[in-house]
Amino acid sequence: MWLLATLAVLALTVGAGMVVLGSAYDGVSWDPTGRVLGVNAGGPAERAGLRADDVVLSVDGCSPTRWKPCERWLYRPGEVLYIVFQRGERVYTTAVTVTLSPAARRMEYLPGLLVALVSCLLSLIVLLNRPETTETRLFYAMGHLGAAALAVNTLSGRLLLASRAYNAFFSLLSPVLVHFHAVFPKQQRWLTGRRWLLVMLYGTGLALGAVWPLHPVVHNLWMLLGFVAAIGLMVTAYVTPASLYDRQRIRLVVFGTLLGFGPIALLTVAPAAFFRVQWVPLKFSVAPLLVIPVSYAIATMDN
């Protein structure tokens, strides 16, 4: 069962990488009314004659109000979009030949996929090393949910269901994150006899993941609360009586978690939750997450 789940996440990650590396590019963006917001210099749309503030009337016979952004990614490089647009009082028709996305545009998604790949494999290695413990099983779940979320996030602008899957994975990741840090390096006293707290956490995560559509701020705030709770639990475990070895393990994982989650929490999740803007896009802030599975693997392999 563990290996099957790993193979599924690996297939998702590799598949997402193949989609990203082969993605098409039209070089134009417009709002739901069809007004062109921007045309990339030297891109296919500019070569076809489109300009900012033109109004797209139809794309391949479809009204722009019904044209979903993800449908644009179904085209392959070399295919043609027939766009009817209005400029001033005149109506024009043009053919936009989509091309392969620029290399820099495709490469910016690879850090997240690399984090997903490493997290998936390391969490499996940790589990196989100590399959009998709750903490390794939770770390396995945490690593695989995080990897799946990162993989589908690269497809969120390309496939309609990817955004929903991303929210579902991240909504479940938050309670797993809290649960893991409640038992690492040993179960904290407050959890004894209070399993109903975990039931509430997982129930809320499942509910948030199942509700669609739901404002992204809700998911971001839920994930941010999970980060804060996890850090608080690690601090609590460190200041309470513990062996020297347990303290060393906690210090390593605390350092790795702060270093890994710090950029994404402070620069992406927190501003998105409170200011509805990401100071640093998720695809750029995910790279430090590599530190987390590596630090945990080091902390547990010699246990």
Residue 5 covered by a domain: no
Tell me which residue of 266, 161, 166, 154 sits closest to 208, measured CA to CA. Answer: 166
Same domain, 277 and 251: yes
pLDDT at 121: 93
pLDDT at 124: 93
Residue 290 covered by a domain: yes
Dihedral angle of Cα 3, 9, 11, 15, to the nearest 10 degrees: -170
The Cα 297–Cα 294 span in angstroms is 5
Residue 48 covered by a domain: yes
Mean per-residue pLDDT, 59-83:
79
Residue 15 covered by a domain: no
Same domain, 41 and 152: no
Tell which of 70, 100, 130 closes a domain: 100
Same domain, 156 and 276: yes
Same domain, 187 and 291: yes
Whether pLDDT at 55 is above 70: yes
Same domain, 192 and 146: yes
Structural domain of residue 95, as residue ranges?
A: 24-100
Residue 8 covered by a domain: no
pLDDT at 69: 61
Same domain, 120 and 267: yes
Domains contained in the chain, number: 2
Which tens digit of pLDDT belongs to each residue from 137-190?
A: 999 999 999 999 989 988 876 666 787 888 889 899 999 999 998 888 887 777
CA angle 151, 212, 106 (to 5 degrees): 25
> Which residues on adjacent β-strands are paired with residue 95?
82
- CATH number of the domain where residue 62 is located: 2.30.42.10
Mean per-residue pLDDT, 255-277:
81
Is the Cβ–Cβ distance between 98 and 26 less than 8 Å? yes
- CATH number of the domain where residue 130 is located: 1.20.1070
Pairing of strands 80-87, 90-97: antiparallel
Highest averaged pLDDT of the listed ranges 49-53, 64-68, 214-218, 257-261: 49-53
Tell which of 68, 100, 132 closes a domain: 100
Q: How confident is the model at residue 135 (pLDDT cuts 50, 70, 90)?
A: confident
pLDDT at 11: 95
Same domain, 168 and 209: yes
Same domain, 207 and 262: yes
Q: How confident is the model at residue 91 (pLDDT cuts 50, 70, 90)?
A: very high
Same domain, 260 and 144: yes
Whether pLDDT at 44 is above 90: yes
Q: How confident is the model at residue 68 (pLDDT cuts 50, 70, 90)?
A: low
Whether pLDDT at 257 is above 80: no
Same domain, 77 and 178: no
Tell which of 100, 134, 168 closes a domain: 100
Residue 224 covered by a domain: yes
Which tens digit of pLDDT belongs to each residue from 7-29?
A: 999 999 999 998 888 888 889 98
Residue 14 covered by a domain: no
Residue 13 covered by a domain: no
Same domain, 142 and 250: yes
Same domain, 67 and 126: no
